């Protein structure tokens, strides 16, 4: 979702007091952010360090610490591609509801985060490994009837033959707009069989927009392998000139 789309949807103006939650890695250059909260400032963010664009930066462990703000201090809070990364996202969901009047949460869709990567020697996220979605994600996130649904992302299950999604044809981003309070629900059962059935229900409900196949071979499609070897050779040669 672009900054322009966010501005239009949330009716953000120059007077809107905006909080960016966990956005050091990817800031919002087109949005006038008042405060950015994260565990590290953008200047030392991994992979893509950048200059702080917000007016203020607050260092906080958003999985353990309450936010140092008053109730409804901010007009809008943005939280894009963060919730799925957290071992414990529940505190920050409650805190965003407390300190902001409305907001936006963006994550990958569940189907996109189940899709296995292909063989790729130049992708910093995976390399030759084939993995479901991003390996640092802990939750599948869905927006069902304007309620945020969090389901544990269990990697051993995803590597079983039944859940090997090779292609997802649906939406790539889950967008959840809220006002007043974040409405969310967690799949909290410890029964492994219930969780497996939850995964099966998702697969059945989305059978028309996903493809499955065997992914547990190290070697991918041979044409893709040759292409990736060529890209890697070019990358290595370029680094020497």
pLDDT in tens, 87-125: 999 999 999 999 999 999 999 999 999 999 877 777 666
Parent domain of 217:
3-238
- pLDDT score recorded for residue 29: 96
Report in angstroms the alpha-carbon separations of 144 from 75, 85, 120, 136, 148: 25, 20, 33, 24, 6
135: domain CATH number is 3.40.50
List, in order, residues 6 or more apart from 87 with CB less than 8 Å away. Answer: 63, 138
Distances (CA, A) of 62 to 14, 75, 240: 27, 19, 42
Q: Look at residue 206 in the predicted model and tell me its pLDDT.
A: 98
Q: Is the pLDDT of residue 237 over 80?
A: yes
Helix ranges (H only) for the chain are 3-10, 90-99, 110-114, 155-158, 192-205, 222-238
The answer to whether 165 touches 201, Cβ cutoff 8 Å, is no
Question: What is the widest separation between alpha-carbon atoms in the chain?
Answer: 57
Domains identified in the chain, total number: 1
Query: For the whole model, what pTM was predicted?
Result: 0.86
């Amino acid at each position: 979702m672009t900054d322009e789309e966010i501005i239009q949807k949330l009716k953000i103006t120059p007077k809107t007091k905006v909080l960016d939650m966990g956005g050091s890695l990817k800031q919002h250059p087109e949005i006038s952010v008042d405060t950015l909260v994260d565990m590290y400032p953008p200047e030392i963010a991994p992979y893509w360090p950048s200059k702080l664009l917000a007016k203020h930066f607050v260092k906080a462990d958003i999985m353990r610490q309450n936010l140092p703000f008053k109730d409804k201090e901010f007009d809008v809070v943005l939280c894009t591609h963060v919730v799925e990364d957290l071992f414990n996202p529940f505190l920050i969901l409650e805190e965003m509801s407390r300190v902001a009047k409305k907001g936006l949460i963006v994550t990958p869709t569940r189907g996109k985060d189940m899709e296995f990567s292909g063989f790729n020697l130049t992708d910093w996220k995976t390399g030759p490994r084939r993995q479901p979605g991003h390996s640092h994600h802990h939750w599948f996130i869905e927006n069902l009837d304007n309620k945020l649904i969090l389901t544990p992302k269990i990697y051993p299950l995803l590597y079983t033959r039944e859940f090997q999604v090779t292609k997802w044809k649906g939406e790539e981003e889950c967008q959840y707009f809220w006002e007043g309070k974040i409405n969310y629900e967690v799949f909290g059962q410890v029964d492994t069989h219930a969780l497996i059935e939850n995964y099966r229900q998702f697969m059945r409900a989305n059978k028309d927009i996903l493809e499955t196949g065997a992914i547990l071979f190290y070697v991918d499609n041979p044409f893709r392998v040759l292409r990736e070897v060529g890209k890697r050779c070019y990358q290595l040669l370029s680094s020497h000139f």
